[in-house]
C-alpha cells in the first residue's frame, strides 16, 4: 500500500499496482525517492481523487479482452469526463504532471471534441479566452487561412 498526500493535505491509500500508472510516481519509487507517504504538491485532493479513481478502474479492467468489456470501459471513460470545465482542465494538468498517458489522451481528446466544428468566436467563448489579435492581424490570418489553406 502506498499513501499519496495532495497539495491541500488529503491522504489516499492506494495499491502499488495502481500507483505505478502514474509514471512520475513510478519513477520516484524506482529511484528510491519515495517514502511511505508520497507528496503530490501540484494536485488538490479533489482532483487527485478523480485521478486515482481513473487509474483504479483501468487497472481493474486490465487489458479489455473482449469487445463487450472494451465497450464498457469506453462508456465508463465517457462518463468520467462529464465534469465541469474547470475540473476537466485540472485533471488534464494533473495527468500531464503525473504522466498518465491514457488519462491525458482521454481528457485532451475531450477538449479537442469541444473545439471541433466551432468558429473561433465560439471557441473563445467556450474557454473564456481573450482575443489578443488586433482586427488587422486577425483579418490577415483569416484571409491567409481561407485563401491559401482551404
Partner 1 sequence: MAYSFPEEVLEHVFSFIHTDKDRNSISVVCKSWYAVERWSRRRIFVGNCYAVSPVIVTRRFPELRSVALKGKPHFADFNLVPEGWGGDVFPWIATMARAYPMLEELRLKRMVVTDESLELISRSFKNFKVLVLSSCEGFSTDGLAAIAANCRNLRELDLRESEVDDLSGHWLTHFPDSCTSLVSLNISCLGSEVSFSALERLVGRCPNLRTLRLNRAVPLERLPNLLRRAPQLVELGTGAYSAEPRPEVFSSLEGAFGSCKELKSLSGFWDVVPDYLPSIYSICSGITSLNLSYATIQSPDLIKLVTQCPNLQRLWVLDYIEDSGLEALAAHCKDLQELRVFPSEPYGVEPNVALTEQGLVSVSEGCPKLHSVLYFCRQMTNAALVSIAKNRPNMTRFRLCIIEPQTPDYQTMEPLDVGFGAIVEHCKELRRLSLSGLLTDRMFDYIGTHAKKLEMLSVAFAGDSDLGLHHVLFGCESLRKLEIRDCPFGDKALLANAAKLETMRSLWMSSCSVSYGACKLLGQKMPRLNVEVIDERGPLDSRPESCSVEKLYIYRSVAGPRRDMPQFVSTMDEDSELRLS
Q: Which residues are near partner 1 by CB under 8 A? A: 85-86, 89, 92-93, 96, 104-105, 108-109, 111-113, 115-120, 123-124, 127-133, 138, 141-150
Burial of 68 (0-12, 13-18, 19+ CB in 10 A): exposed
Between the alpha carbon of residue 110 and those of residues 19, 104, 113, 134, the distances in Å are: 24, 10, 5, 30
**In this complex, which beta carbon is closest to partner 1, that of residue 65 or of residue 132?**
132
Q: Nearest approach, Cβ of 135 to partner 1 (angstroms)? A: 12
Q: Which is nearer to partner 1, 17 or 46 (CB)?
A: 46
Cα distance between residue 98 and residue 19, in whole Å: 10
Q: Which residues make beta-bridge pairs with 139?
A: none
Q: Minimum distance between the CB of residue 12 and partner 1, rounded to whole angstroms?
A: 24
Q: Residue 51 Cβ, how far from partner 1 at the closest point, in Å?
A: 15
Write out the three cell numbers for 22. Answer: 502514474
Could you tell me how many helices (H) and strands (E) the chain has, helices first? 8, 3
Contact (CB, 8 A) for 40 and 4: yes
CB of 121 to partner 1, least distance (A): 9
Q: Closer CB to partner 1, residue 60 or residue 105?
A: 105
Nearer to partner 1 by Cβ, of 68 and 148: the residue is 148
Nearer to partner 1, 46 or 142 (CB): 142
> For residue 1, how many other CB atoms are within 10 A of its CB?
8
Task: Give min distance, CB of 141 to partner 1, in A.
Answer: 5
Amino acid at each position: 500500500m502506498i499513501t499519496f498526500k495532495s497539495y491541500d493535505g488529503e491522504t489516499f491509500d492506494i495499491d502499488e499496482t495502481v500507483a505505478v500508472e502514474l509514471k512520475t510516481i513510478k519513477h520516484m519509487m524506482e529511484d528510491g525517492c519515495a517514502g511511505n507517504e508520497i507528496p503530490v504538491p501540484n494536485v488538490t485532493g479533489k482532483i487527485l481523487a478523480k485521478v486515482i479513481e481513473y487509474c483504479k478502474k483501468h487497472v481493474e479492467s486490465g487489458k479489455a479482452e473482449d469487445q463487450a468489456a472494451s465497450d464498457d470501459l469506453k462508456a465508463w471513460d465517457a462518463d468520467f469526463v462529464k465534469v465541469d470545465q474547470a475540473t476537466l482542465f485540472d485533471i488534464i494538468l494533473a495527468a500531464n504532471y503525473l504522466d498518465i498517458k491514457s488519462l491525458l489522451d482521454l481528457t485532451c481528446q475531450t477538449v479537442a471534441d469541444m473545439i471541433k466544428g466551432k468558429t473561433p468566436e465560439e471557441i473563445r467563448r467556450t474557454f473564456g479566452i481573450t482575443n489578443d489579435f488586433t482586427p488587422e492581424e486577425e483579418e490577415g490570418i483569416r484571409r491567409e487561412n481561407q485563401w491559401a489553406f482551404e
